[in-house]
Amino acid sequence: MKIDYISLLFVFVLATFIGLDVIRRVSRLLHTPLMSLTNAISAIAVVGSIIIAGQQNADFKFNIIGLVAIAASVCNIVSGFLITDRMLKMFKKREASK
């Protein structure tokens, strides 16, 4: 089975631009639920990446690609939680200065 890398790259770039456009049009009130949804999707990607990286393949590049996918998904999850926490802190009432 031959993999067409050009088609895969095209789909990746197209998905990136569509994702950026969709995220840009989301109102600020929906940002926190959207981040929780993307964190759940990234968690699924982490599980799939661990499965790919943990298999013994004849070609070592699949393990490296799985490792890169794990790192990218974990970075996305952590940054999503940090951004959501920061936004929630913006809505908390500030205590009066004494």
Q: pTM for this structure?
A: 0.55
**At which residue do the structure tokens 């969709």 appear?**
22
Mean pLDDT of the chain: 76
Which pLDDT does position 1 carry in this prediction? Answer: 58
Higher pLDDT, 72 or 34: 72
Report the C-alpha gap between 71 and 88 in whole angstroms: 26
For range 58-66, the mean pLDDT: 79
pLDDT bin (cut points 50, 70, 90) of residue 95 is low
> Quick count: other Cβ atoms within 10 Å of Cβ 13?
10
User: Phi and psi dihedrals of 55, rounded to 5?
Assistant: -75, 150
Supply the Cα-derived Rg of the chain in whole angstroms.
18
Which pLDDT does position 65 carry in this prediction? Answer: 81
